Structure 1
């Protein structure tokens, strides 16, 4: 068994498929967080995307900018970061998964957990964007770990289907 796939990569199809998957999985992750919120309301007053941007010098009036829909104030800047992260990793997953099939083991479950560990337990606490892993509530770990699995499985399912269709269409 070879570590690298012998299949050729259709890069434009992988980018389109990953982008489509990232948008859909970003919506799934937002829905998941409505069912099992990862943070308390107090910690969400300035959520991690807003905190990260403020750490880079973006003023709070920008990071907390909202739009109104159906009587709700919604944080559009947070959504830009959320969907940017989701699509970036979905495209990366689609491209790498076509060349390194082990990445897609168990429909991306392990890749999703690896992203959670890297960012929520490692990088963001090290940067001071979120509390250390020990200071995060158990509910946050459960929500984020399961949410990242569901997010990546969605990327796997949607990305594979869109990629398969695009490659088949290109071959006609």
Structure 2
């Protein structure tokens, strides 16, 4: 399939589906990168529960075994990464300014919305003023990595999906 002269000038035709697929793949790769970053610079070092584990038990309505909690937390973690990546890919498709700073802005906004807003509001983590400096800086750094990796992979995959 050859590119038209117009596509070379303006880029590929906009496609919600292609944008979402590219973002979803980017989100999955970025989730792996974020997980690695959190192993190097962990946000919680004193045995505090991970928000996905707390959410898993809230959704189940009872205490889970260690194995059940681990599976549920990983499912939530990877699912959230894939879904936010897909949403980002859709947004980037129609609002390219969302990709500013090579995706770092997306990652920082996501950290603010989740770790400083939604998670404390849902009782899944401490409010920002009660979080340690390490927790806040680790979350911001790992989310910036998440955003940059999501954008980098999204851009490559989107070019492949012309």
The verdict on a shared fold, with TM-score over 0.5 as the criterion, is yes
Residues matched between the structures, number: 153
Return the match for 1:65 from 59, 64, 67. Answer: 67
Question: Match of 2:160, SS?
Answer: helix
Q: Is the 2:24–2:86 contact (alpha carbons within 8 Å) kept by the matching residues of 1?
A: yes
Cα distance in 2 for residues equivalent to 1:28 and 1:37: 13
Q: Is the 1:26–1:83 contact (alpha carbons within 8 Å) kept by the matching residues of 2?
A: yes
What is the TM-score of this pair, normalised by structure 1? 0.81
**Counterpart residue number, 2:89:** 94
What is the TM-score of this pair, normalised by structure 2? 0.86
Structure 2: runs of 5 or more not aligned: 1-9
Displacement of 1:52:
1.5
**Counterpart residue number, 2:57:** 54
Q: Is the 1:38–1:144 contact (alpha carbons within 8 Å) kept by the matching residues of 2?
A: yes
Question: Match of 1:75, SS?
Answer: helix
Structure 1: runs of 5 or more not aligned: 67-73, 168-172
Say whether 1:16 aligns with 2:27: no
Spell out, residue by residue over 1:117-168, the C-alpha distance to the aligned partner (whole angstroms, 9 max, x if none): 111011111121101101100001110001101001000000110111111x
